[in-house]
Amino acid sequence: MQPLQQLKADLRSLAKPEEATVLSSFFKTGKGQYGEGDIFLGIMVPQQRRIAKKYSSLSLKDIRTLLSSKVHEHRVVALLILVSQFRKADQTGKKQIAGFYLDNTNRINNWDLVDLSAPHILGEHLQGKDAALLYRLASSANLWERRIAIIATFAFIRRNAFKDTLRIAEALLHDHHDLIHKAAGWMLREVGKRDVKTLERFLGEHAAAMPRTMLRYAIEHFNDAKRQKWLNQKAGHVTSAAVDASS
């Protein structure tokens, strides 16, 4: 049996229908929801990681085939393998894998797929390089490309480089999707864990305009008094705007 077929067989052997039902609901696979059409086998992430390690040398051709699958766990394992290969590759290989990643963003189409791959491939690839690509992704009509843009900056944050995170978060302030609000708020929180003054400067400029979910994620690590301060500032702005609109 070829490696790709064996990999799929290994995953099928781990399938749990009862877990698949729970995961299908959790990842919003219903009609009109962001995960519409996804099929789950019901396999937990640690098991998927073991499968990815077993098949870590899978070809890009086979990885592309996995990414094209409607089975969610196929795409998770494909990306876990891709992250592993990126880490081990030389500079030429890293460039090839980053290009492959960008060519397949239409199949990196749920929040967990973005989060487990974007910082480790695209973010790492762009270290010390022009990040203009991320700004283009941040303005994409594709929800997942916008999430890739902000989550990829986690690689920069880990090195205490915050400029691109802040600029992309600002660009996403008026995004309509809750999954972007959560992602941007999460990255802002990570900035604040390393440099609270930088986060507070950002909040001072933008808290009033931030979606409430983004703000709540960004200030999650603050103490109760400080969280309430920023939430009150947001609430006060909303109330003032409502009064002005009715005048």
Q: In this predicted model, what pLDDT tens digit does every residue of 6-64 receive, in sequence order?
A: 999 999 999 999 999 999 999 999 999 999 999 999 999 999 999 999 999 999 999 99
Burial of 54 (0-12, 13-18, 19+ CB in 10 A): middle
- Given 75, 109, 143, which residue is the final one in a domain? 109
Phi (first) and psi of residue 233, to 5 degrees: -60, -40
- pLDDT at res. 237: 57
End-of-domain residue from the set 91, 109, 127: 109
Say if residue 94 is in the same domain as residue 150.
no
Query: Looking at 109, 128, 145, which one is the last position of a domain?
Result: 109
One-letter amino acid identity for 143?
L
Say which CATH number the domain at 90 has.
1.25.10.90
As a whole number of angstroms, the distance between CA 103 and CA 27 comes to 24
Give pLDDT, residue 243.
32
Tell me the per-residue pLDDT of 50-102, one tens digit each, with 9 for 90 and over.
Answer: 999 999 999 999 999 999 999 999 999 999 999 999 999 999 999 999 999 99
One domain, residues 21 and 127: no
Please count the other Cβ atoms lying within 10 Å of the Cβ belonging to residue 130.
Answer: 8
If asked whether residues 64 and 146 sit together in one domain, one would say no
pLDDT class of 236 with cuts at 50, 70, 90 = low
Predicted local confidence at residue 123, as pLDDT: 98
What tens digit of pLDDT does each residue of 135-162 get? Answer: 999 999 999 999 999 999 999 999 999 9
Q: Are 150 and 37 found together in one domain?
A: no
Question: How many domains does the chain divide into?
Answer: 2
Residue 99 shares a structural domain with residue 170 = no
Higher pLDDT, 128 or 100: 100
**pLDDT, tens only, 150-204:** 999 999 999 999 999 999 999 999 999 999 999 999 999 999 999 999 999 999 9
Task: Enter the pTM of the model.
Answer: 0.92
Q: Encoding tokens for residue 49?
A: 């990681």
User: Do 14 and 57 fall within a single domain?
Assistant: yes
Beta bridge partners of 39: 71
Q: Is the dihedral of CA 23, 25, 30, 32 positive or negative?
A: negative
Are both 160 and 43 inside the same structural domain? no
Q: Which domain holds residue 21?
A: 1-109
At 232, the pLDDT band (50, 70, 90 cuts) reads confident
Residues 32 and 135 in one domain: no
Tell me, rounded to whole angstroms, the distance of Cα 2 from its chain centroid.
32
Residues 218 and 148 in one domain: yes
The pLDDT of residue 3: 96
Token digits of residue 192? 């604040």
